[in-house]
Amino acid sequence: MRWRQIAEDVAVLSFPLRGFGIDFGRNVTLLRLRDGRLVIHSTADFSEDDVEAIRQFGEPAWLVDATVMHDTFAKSARGIFPRLPYLAPGGFSKASGVATGSLVPPPSEWSGEIEVLPIAGLRMPKEHVFYHRRSRTLVVADLLFHFSAETGGWPRFFARHFMRLPRLRGISAFFKLMIRDRGAFERSMEELLRWDFTQIVVGHGEPMQSSVRQVLEEALRARGFRIGHRN
């Protein structure tokens, strides 16, 4: 596990996750509330050392998976944190075999600190995006990918030619195939862009911390979406 604290109340734990002969990585984001409680965004095969590091950062209070596609480690995480509320999109319980509650509306304890937006217009995977207000951090699952500039060989070829990410970041061709209602998706993106975020944590890859609004808008336009909102 690789630990990175990217804001006073936000830490990213990165784990290996292999597919197609590539380590895409799996990011778990810890979002800390003012009272010290933690939202554990995404799950992984946590070791005892990982759990201790999480507890050092704050009090685990909620488990969250933001897309139906991220069910791989749900049973493992539930076994490690058996008493925490587990929140996820509709359909996640069936996919994972783990009982979960709804992300919408979010818990009242998050009011004024963490906002949740379901992305409309998707067939699957019913992704939800999170906004941690105090740190101005946007957390996504598969909406965006961001491969390191040092990525080479087969992973680089796959990202550029199969996922169609020539700059190694953006909305993958696979995600675009999941969009069934273009107008609804664009309206969700307009709503998302009203948040005042300055960094983005992706589900797979490196966090983005520079010109992130521009990166997101360029990613949307590169896929042909019309985004008219401006601050």
> 162-175, pLDDT tens digit by residue?
999 999 999 999 99
Q: Which whole number is the average pLDDT over 57-67?
A: 97
CA 138 to chain centre: 8
pLDDT for the residue 17: 82
> 78-104, pLDDT tens digit by residue?
999 999 999 999 899 998 999 999 999
Answer whether 205's CB lies under 8 Å from 165's CB: no
Q: Which whole number is the average pLDDT over 172-189?
A: 94
Pairwise pLDDT comparison (178 vs 231), residue with the higher score: 178
Q: Which whole number is the average pLDDT over 24-53?
A: 95
Calpha distance 25→201 (Å, rounded): 12
pLDDT for the residue 43: 94
Calpha distance 188→53 (Å, rounded): 35
Q: What is the mean pLDDT of the chain?
A: 93
Amino acid code (one letter) for 67: T
Pairwise pLDDT comparison (87 vs 70), residue with the higher score: 87
Calpha distance 131→31 (Å, rounded): 10
Q: Which whole number is the average pLDDT over 26-31?
A: 96
